[in-house]
Homo-oligomer: A and B are copies of this chain.
Amino acid sequence: MVTIKDVARVAKVSPSTVSRVISDHKSISESTKERVRLAMQELGYHPNYIARSLIKCSSHALGLILSRSTESAFSNPFFSEILRGIGKVAQKHQYTLALATAENYKDEAKQGLQMVMERRVDGLILLAPRVNDDLIRELSRNNYPFVVVGRVNGMQHHYAVNNDNIQAAYTAVRHLLNLGHRRIAFLNGPSEYTFCQDRYQGYCMALQEFGVAVDPRYVRNLENHHEDDYRMGKELLKQKPRPTAFFLTDDLMAIGVYRAVKEENLRIPQDVAVVGFNDDAFANLLDPPLTTVQIPIYEMGKTAAEMMIAVLHGKEVTPPQKILSSELIIRESCGAKAR
């Protein structure tokens, strides 16, 4: 392994001079810089990131946890899109992204905590906060730096970026109500996630505004697999009276629901209207194209990473909680546009 000492020897300077050349220190003469750089090139030297981390007391890495449940609840396009945003910013600031995978929530919390405790990462970006989140509680108890993508229940002092889930769901459901729908089914994700809770709240708000009671028979929390979307869609369509519209917490659900509707010999949008969430790349290609809520996933990822890095650099971050807004993209899965 080529070290700073080797370079020093070849360039006939001291190790500290080499170190100063690496960080482009002002008080080193151009000629020495040249000489040292030449030696580095000649020897194929590259600074050892670990040695630097040790002395700087910083791994220069951001932690991320991909849980089996996060993955399914959030659906894949969401995950890879937010990752792209986070990665972009991390790259810009020369931060490494450390990814831990976990099979369940307990594991997720353990892995996350371990990453910060062992100093593998300087801070954590959390992707799917729960209504009662152990990991978040532990992190803030120990003052480990973290940024949440989503809303945290009952905590003031933390950093977070989120989209306006309540408002978004409200707008989507209002759209259906405006079109005359009154029996609106809601296929939501697991209720332990705050974003699912928020979307449910938006759903309720809209119904309430139109004087429609929330009928629990029309609301489902899906745990996992896309087969369930299909099954639940079928089940809801068999209810009497059957819902005339579906609000989905994820565009991916539309594939199963579309199929369920067709199998019941019903048509979209004539018999059943559908609104999705996320505006995945394929939403426009479904038949009929899916009306859905577009949220700035990539932007959220970028913002979360920017916040995290700013916090780690001791900068003041205001406001500590940022909400990015979403937009309802109206296509053809609900029929005519509302006036």
Contact = CB atoms under 8 A, between A and B. Distances in A.
Nearest to A111: B91
A117 interface: yes
A46 interface: yes
Given A59-B50, A101-B88, A285-B255, A96 B120 contact: yes
A286 B282 CA distance: 13
A69 B161 CA distance: 27
Interface in A24-83: 46-51, 53-54, 57, 59, 61, 64, 66, 68, 71, 76-77, 79-80, 83
A282 B226 contact: yes
B118 A281 contact: no
A311 B117 CA distance: 28
B46 A50 contact: no
A100 B100 contact: no
A54 B47 CA distance: 13
A53 to B, nearest CB: 5
A189 B225 CA distance: 28
A43 to B, nearest CB: 12
A8 to B, nearest CB: 19
* This chain: copies in complex: 2
Nearest to A53: B50
B286 A46 contact: no
A226 B118 contact: no
A209 interface: no
B120 A49 contact: yes
A22 to B, nearest CB: 12
The residue in A1, A111, A230, A281 that gathers the most chain B C-beta atoms within 10 A of its C-beta is: A281
Nearest to A114: B46
Contact of A98 (B61, B79, B227): B61
A252 interface: yes
Interface residues of A, number: 59
A274 B332 CA distance: 25
A258 B287 contact: yes
A18 B281 CA distance: 54
A230 B54 CA distance: 52
The residue in A76, A77, A225 that gathers the most chain B C-beta atoms within 10 A of its C-beta is: A76
Nearest to A59: B50
Interface in A116-144: 117-120
Nearest to A89: B101
Nearest to A118: B49
The residue in A1, A49, A59, A230 that gathers the most chain B C-beta atoms within 10 A of its C-beta is: A49
The residue in A1, A66, A285 that gathers the most chain B C-beta atoms within 10 A of its C-beta is: A285
13 contacts: A46-B114, A46-B117, A46-B118, A48-B119, A51-B54, A66-B80, A71-B80, A86-B101, A87-B101, A91-B101, A96-B100, A226-B285, A255-B286
